[in-house]
């Protein structure tokens, strides 16, 4: 099976197989951003089989905290807990990748200083109850770029094998790339190429930090959402231009955030080719592409690996923590979540209640 084959990333880090755990918000950290015991148990339970675990997003500064119970990487005093998290993943035999991000205008006001959300421009997201953010100043933009570098340094000191820069799912890096949320007329906004400047500066800050602080190969990945529904919003043509530039940034992978792996464009009137195929073809052999989205069975993953070399599993690893081990031993796997929590699945509260309360988000046994 392709999924069991090892894969060496451009940095030289070798993954023992081609399946990774996708980053998923778990609401399990302590209120001060420190790692909780429940969180350590949750990750350890899902480590071992997969080639690498990509953690839930960790905010790089206080202004970027987007969830209750979110892990933090914005202060040096968080490093000891992060070190325990990396170790809990390593002890089971998987690589550990910390996802780093800033929530921008999507942050709940009660989680950020002065109840003040920020973004590229003072444009509210199109959702019920949304507040209008304040546009970041030039100085704040430079500070945030620096903060991504500092977050990377902390990840290195904590023993992680890499970081994933979260440029997807409507958060700050995407907000700078989006013509909906970025109406700036300085160097950080304008045409599609100029709207890339902030994410590219963040990538540069991260990669320079890796060069300065990492003593061995260290993974730098980038996650992106290829389209937006808003008008104006990110189009596939915007994203394909972005892919052209991202493939020149010495990244280890591009992680394409999709709800369905094979989904077509949600903006084009008569879409013909799945989004992931368009991106994989555009990236070519320059940088590995990772896909995700409603893949549950080994056959589905094998088919997906015909398009991209790496796959991340999210919901399926919540349902079946031993997915990879059972595939390799020939055991039957679960593809639907039991109605009640169990020690075997090990999804602590409040995560269990939150994921089960979202209609149709996860398949559930009848």
pLDDT tens per residue across span 287-328: 999 999 999 999 999 999 999 999 999 999 999 999 999 999
Coil/strand/helix, residue 301: helix
Catalytic residue among 43, 171, 222, 253: 171
Domain boundary assignment for the chain: 2-356
Residues of the chain with pLDDT > 90, as a percent, come to: 98
Assess contact for 49 and 36: CB atoms under 8 A: no
Decide the pairing of beta strands 7-8 and 14-15: antiparallel
171 tagged catalytic: yes
The secondary structure of residue 6, as a DSSP letter, is: -
The DSSP code sequence of 306-354 is: TT-SEEEESHHHHH-TTHHHHHHHT-----SB-SS--TTT---TTHHHH
pLDDT mean over 96-122: 98
**Average pLDDT over every residue of 256-277:** 94
pTM for the model: 0.98
CATH architecture of the domain with residue range 2-356: Alpha-Beta Barrel (3.20)
User: CA 70 to CA 351: how far, in whole Å?
Assistant: 11
Beta strand 118-119 with 134-135: parallel, antiparallel or unpaired?
A: parallel
What integer pLDDT is reported at residue 303 of this predicted model? 98
Supply the pLDDT for residue 110: 98
Query: What integer pLDDT is reported at residue 268 of this predicted model?
Result: 87
* Tokens of residue 364, six digits: 């559930």
């Amino acid at each position: 099976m392709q999924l069991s084959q090892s894969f060496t990333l451009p940095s030289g880090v070798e993954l023992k197989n081609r399946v990774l755990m996708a980053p998923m918000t778990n609401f399990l950290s302590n209120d001060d951003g420190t790692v909780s015991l429940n969180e350590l148990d949750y990750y350890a339970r899902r480590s071992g089989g997969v080639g690498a675990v990509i953690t839930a997003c960790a905010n790089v500064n206080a202004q970027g905290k987007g969830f209750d119970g979110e892990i933090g990487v914005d202060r040096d005093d968080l490093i000891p807990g992060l070190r325990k998290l990396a170790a809990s993943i390593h002890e089971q035999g998987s690589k550990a990748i910390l996802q780093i991000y800033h929530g921008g205008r999507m942050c709940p006001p009660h989680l950020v200083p002065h109840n003040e959300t920020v973004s590229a421009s003072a444009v509210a997201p199109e959702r019920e109850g949304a507040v209008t953010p304040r546009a970041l100043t030039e100085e704040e933009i430079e500070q945030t770029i620096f903060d991504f570098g500092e977050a990377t340094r902390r990840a290195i000191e904590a023993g992680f094998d890499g970081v994933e820069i979260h440029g997807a799912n409507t958060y700050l890096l995407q907000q700078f790339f989006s013509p909906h949320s970025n109406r700036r007329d300085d160097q950080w906004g304008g045409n599609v190429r100029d709207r890339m400047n902030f994410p590219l500066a963040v990538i540069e800050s991260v990669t320079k930090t890796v060069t300065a602080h990492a003593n061995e190969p260290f993974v730098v990945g980038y996650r992106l959402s290829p389209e937006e529904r808003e008008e104006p919003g990110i189009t596939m043509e915007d994203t394909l231009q972005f892919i052209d530039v991202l493939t020149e940034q010495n990244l280890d992978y591009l992680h394409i955030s999709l709800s369905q792996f094979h989904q077509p464009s949600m903006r084009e009137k008569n879409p013909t080719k799945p989004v992931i195929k368009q991106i994989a073809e555009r990236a070519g052999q320059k940088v590995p592409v990772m896909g995700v989205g409603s893949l549950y069975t080994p056959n589905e993953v094998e088919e997906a690996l015909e398009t991209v070399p790496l796959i991340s599993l999210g919901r399926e690893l919540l349902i079946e923590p031993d997915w990879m081990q059972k595939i390799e031993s020939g055991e039957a796997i679960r593809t639907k979540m039991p109605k009640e929590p169990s020690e075997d699945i090990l999804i602590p509260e409040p995560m269990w209640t939150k994921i089960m309360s979202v209609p149709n988000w996860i398949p559930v046994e009848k």
